[in-house]
Amino acid sequence: MQNLFRPALWTMALMLAAAGNAHALGMDIPYGAFAAEPDVDWVQACGEWPAPPGKDGSRRGVYRIVHGTRYAQSFLYIQWLRRDDSDTAHEVKTVGVAALNNDHASISLSQMRCQATPQGIRFTARAESGHDDSVFRITIDAGHRPGVLRYRTTPLR
C-alpha cells in the first residue's frame, strides 16, 4: 500500500515546488537581462574614478548609468568601467539598485541626472510609485570603490 501513494506524493511535491516558483514575488532582475535588450532607454557616462593608490593614471575608470524599462517600471544599474591599453572599456563592477530592480517595485524614474562629485558621482531622479501614486526623489551616490552605493529617497508630495 505504501508504494501506491509514492507517485502521488512525488506529483504533489513537484506541483508545490512549481507553484512556489510561479508565485514568487520580488525577483531581482540582473543587468544581463538588459545587456542586449531593446528596453535599455538611457545610458550615461558620468565622471571618473581614480586609479588605485600606487598605480599609474591609466588605471582610472569611468562611471556609467544604465536605465532600462520593463513591466512599465524602471531598472537601474551603476557601472564602474576601466579602459585597457588598447582604449577598450571593460566592466569592473555592475551594481543593480535593489530598491528599484525588483520586478514588483513598480517605480518609474524620470528627470534623470548624473553629476561628478569629488567622492564619485551623484545620480538623482524623480520617482513615481505605481502602487500608491507617491512621488519622491531618489539620490544615489557611488564612490570610487567599485560596488559601493548609497541610496536614499526624499518625498516630493
With a cut of 70, say whether residue 2 has pLDDT above it. no
CA distance 84 to 90: 7
Residues 6 or more apart whose Cβ sits within 8 Å of residue 14:
none
pTM for this prediction: 0.76
| Residue 68 CA to its chain's centroid (Å) | 9
Domains contained in the chain, CATH given: 27-155 (2.40.128)
Quick one: pLDDT at residue 84?
82
Q: Determine the Cα angle at 117 with ends 111 and 122, to 5°.
A: 30
Quick one: pLDDT at residue 77?
95
57-76 mean pLDDT? 87
Quick one: pLDDT at residue 51?
73
Give percent above pLDDT 70 in the chain: 76
Quick one: pLDDT at residue 79?
96
pLDDT tens, residue by residue, 95-139: 999 989 987 889 999 999 999 999 999 999 999 998 888 999 999
Q: How confident is the model at residue 6 (pLDDT cuts 50, 70, 90)?
A: very low
Ranking 9-23, 37-51, 141-155 by mean pLDDT, the lowest is 9-23
With a cut of 70, say whether residue 27 has pLDDT above it. no
- Strands (E) in the chain, as ranges, are 40-49, 61-70, 73-83, 89-96, 107-117, 120-129, 135-143, 149-155
Quick one: pLDDT at residue 57?
57
Quick one: pLDDT at residue 56?
63
Measured in degrees and rounded to the nearest 5, phi and psi for residue 9 equal -65, -40
With a cut of 80, say whether residue 1 has pLDDT above it. no
Which of 109, 136, 114, 135 is closest to 124 using CA atoms? Answer: 114
